[in-house]
Amino acid sequence: MSVPVQQELDAIVGEGLPTLSHRSQLPYVNACLLEVMRIRPLLPVALPHATTQDVKVCGYNIPKDTQVLVNLHSIHKDPAYWPDPDGFDPGRFLDAEGNVINKPESFLPFSAGRRVCPGEQLAGMELFLFFSTLLQSFTFSPPEGAPAPLSDGVFGLTLTSPPFELCAIPR
């Protein structure tokens, strides 16, 4: 994953550091960020919502004012929406010409509806700058002989990765 990201950064940004003005010119970088957020949403379960009327879902009656928790992690791993859901594939967010596609309906890393994260735009900008600057400056890899950290993480209020080792090699 890091090689195509670094190639795109080198071609567009060159020797300098990425800025927000580069964001629209770096579709693969953006697709990688979207795929990371799909695989590892910060919050595995969205903030509670409530039904505004009686509703029937999959044969179940859900009364008005029932609290509903949306399992974002499960939505992002549903093979009905995401072929090979456990695989890391930034290409699922790119069209045939290599442009970033509109976010699919089943992509909800910042929740949905009135309870969508108000910081989504700011977080997107910060994640872009952080991710692109790190990959512009370093190549990351596990230490020789160490397994890649591919677990589902530790579920709680947030979804966290277990500790793992990583080498940051200056470029």
Query: Which residues carry a binding-site annotation for heme?
Result: 117
Tokens at 125, concatenated: 């900008």
Question: How do 55-57 and 60-62 pair as beta strands?
Answer: antiparallel
CA separation for the pair 88, 11 (Å, rounded): 23
What is the rounded distance in angstroms from the CA atom of residue 88 to the CA atom of residue 92? 9
Beta carbons of 80 and 94 less than 8 angstroms apart: no
User: Which residues belong to the annotated binding site?
Assistant: 117
Which class for 67: exposed (0-12), middle (13-18), buried (19 or more C-beta within 10 A)?
exposed
Question: Could you tell me which residues come within 8 angstroms of residue 71 by beta carbon, excluding any fewer than 6 positions away?
Answer: 44, 45
Q: Indicate the Cα dihedral angle 157, 123, 87, 81, nearest 10°.
A: 80
